[in-house]
Amino acid sequence: MVSAVRASIISRDENWLRLRWRIEGSGKLVVPPFAGRGRADELWRTTCFELFLKPDGGEAYSEFNLSPSERWAAYDFSSHRDGMENRPAPREPDCTMRQGSSFAIFDAAIPAAALPQSDCDAGLTCVLEEEGGIKSFWALCHPQDEPDFHDPACFTARLPARTTS
């Protein structure tokens, strides 16, 4: 049974934002089969990793869904769960999943050109499905009794705008 998840921003450069999730107790984790790169909706219905970015100065935010199947999605919202539109991405994210005997690591690289270009509050989340249809919802913060990754209170990390030299 999944016992812990650690999510982190590994690095950011002029080309990529690199993220990592480490899942402890992943022996019964359901990993979606390889499907090849491409956009897909409803990735959250099984194991899926997500990044939320809310630029300073407004209610609008972006959501990136990343699957071990290599499918992905990116959306823009005008406010909390409202005004959803596909977010353009000039390149596809790169995703890899590695499993050990008691842990798994999911790495993702999102193209820098797909990201907001200002300072952002960030939320790193994941939906994990285990054998038997057991799902757990992981976030840096769960401000409500029921998980809502779109709640701005979940965006507790900070992603500064990339600077050029």
Q: Residue 52 pairs with which residues in a beta bridge?
A: 63, 123
Write out the two tokens for 160. 């500064």
CATH 2.60.40.1190 fits 4-159, yes or no: yes
Domain ranges across the chain: 4-159
Looking at residue 164, what is its pLDDT? Answer: 62
Looking at residue 36, what is its pLDDT? Answer: 93
Looking at residue 46, what is its pLDDT? Answer: 97
**Complete DSSP assignment for the chain:** ---EEEEEEEEE-SSEEEEEEEEES-TTB--PPP--SEE-S-GGGSSEEEEEEEESSSS-EEEEEE-TTSEEEEEEESBTTBS-EEPP-SS--EEEEEE-SSEEEEEEEEEGGGS-SS-EEEEEEEEEEETTTEEEEEES---SSS--TTSGGG--EEEPPP---
The whole-model pTM stands at 0.95
Looking at residue 106, what is its pLDDT? Answer: 98
Per-residue pLDDT of the chain (165 residues; tens, 9 = 90+): 999 999 999 999 999 999 999 999 999 999 999 999 999 999 999 999 999 999 998 899 999 999 999 999 999 999 999 999 999 999 999 999 999 889 999 999 999 999 999 999 999 999 999 999 999 999 999 988 899 999 999 999 999 987 665
